Amino acid sequence: MTWLVAALEWQSRAVVARHLSVYMRNWYTAFLPPAFEPVTMLLAFGVGLGGYVATLTWQGRPVEYMSYVAPGLLAYATFMTAIFQSLFAAFIRMRYQRTWEGQLTTQVALPHVVWGEVLWAGLLSTMYVVIVSAVLTGLHAAGFLHIKVVLLPVLLPVVFVAACGFAALGLCFTAIVPTIDHMNLPVFLLVLPMGLLSSTYFPLEHPVLVALNVVNPLHHLAQAFRGILLGGPIAGPLTGVLILSALLLGILVPLDLRLLRRRVLGD
């Protein structure tokens, strides 16, 4: 279980601190996507699609479409931030910038590099969700949607855990794809289907999709956020998020390490 202990060691924190330092230097460019993405999405889905679907039924009660979409947007931001950070940014650091190799010549070992990437993706997703939450709070204040904004901070620990799980999934592909062009495969075959068919932007009632979503942590995340922000069942979806995230971390981090040991160290 040394791979697990590495998550708590100072070297992993040093790697996270390095990534945070880079992010903070470019904060103005890093801040814009999470600030504008929800506005764009709410315009597209909320105002655009919502014009046709003013309300829909969720948990047996009518919900404004804009209010339905808002928690989904937070879940989607969690997922996409973590996945893209662990797919593209981590791949660039590993392959092109050779940042990992530089770190590995120090007291940092491969488990710390991997946990550093996972924890950084968790932290970045949490920061993104904070920014998206601020935008949603503004839209709530302006009367465009109605959610329990006071409970938004409650989501943050869940965002962090779920994002770490998603990052472990992303790193698997980082470990095996030969070039950055091959990232299209996981993006189109896994990330987009997983992202869009997960009740983030619209409810899914087809029995096949419902069955598939039992193992989709993003679906449980969106439902848990909806339960918290709109008032609905929380325990079931939250348990789903925590169990699936723990499984992703428990199974995929050791696998990531095994695959990356071969790829990065040649061992």
Partner 1 sequence: MSVLLDARNLVKHLGGRRVVDGVDLACESSQIVGLLGPNGAGKTTTLRMLYGFLHPDEGRIQVNGVELGRDLVRAKRSIGVCTQDDTFDGDFTVEQNLTIAATYFRPRPTDLARRVGELLDRFELGPYAGQKPETLSGGYRRRLMIARALVHRPRLLFLDEPTTGLDPQARMGVWDLVDGLRAEGLGIILTTHYMDEAERLSDALTVLAHGRVVARGTAKTVLGDLVGEHVVVVEAGQGAAVAAWLTAQGRGEPASVLGAWHVPVSGEELAEFARAFPALRYEVRGPTLDDLFMKLSLTP
Contact 34, 139 (CB under 8 A): no
Q: Residue 33 Cβ, how far from partner 1 at the closest point, in Å?
A: 18
User: Crossing angle, helix 27-41 and helix 110-141, to 10 degrees?
Assistant: 50
In angstroms, the CA 230 to CA 95 distance is 43
Tokens encoding 3: 């791979």
If you ran DSSP here, which 8-state letter would residue 214 be given?
G
Least distance in angstroms from the C-beta of 255 to partner 1: 19
Min separation Cβ 111 and partner 1, Å: 11
Name the β-bridge partners of 4.
none
* Ordered DSSP codes for 60-117: TEEEEHHHHHHHHHHHHHHHHHHHHIIIIIHHIIIIIS-HHHHHHTTT--HHHHHHHH
Contact residues for partner 1, defined by CB under 8 A: 10-11, 14, 17-18, 21-22, 25, 97-99, 101-109, 265-267
- Per the structure block, which two tokens stand in for 8? 């708590």
Number of H helices, E strands in the chain: 15, 2
Q: How far is the CB of 10 from partner 1 (least distance, A)?
A: 6
DSSP 230: I
Least spacing, CB of residue 126 vs partner 1, in Å:
21
What is the closest distance, in whole angstroms, from the C-beta atom of residue 256 to partner 1 in the complex? Answer: 18
Nearer to partner 1 among residue 148 and residue 262 (C-beta)? 262
Beta-carbon contacts of 208 under 8 Å, excluding residues fewer than 6 positions away, are: none
* Residue in this structure with the two tokens 């922000």, named with its chain if needed: 229
| Closest CB to partner 1 among residues 2, 179 | 2
75 versus 127: smaller Cβ distance to partner 1: 127
Which residue, 17 or 255, has its beta carbon nearer to partner 1? 17
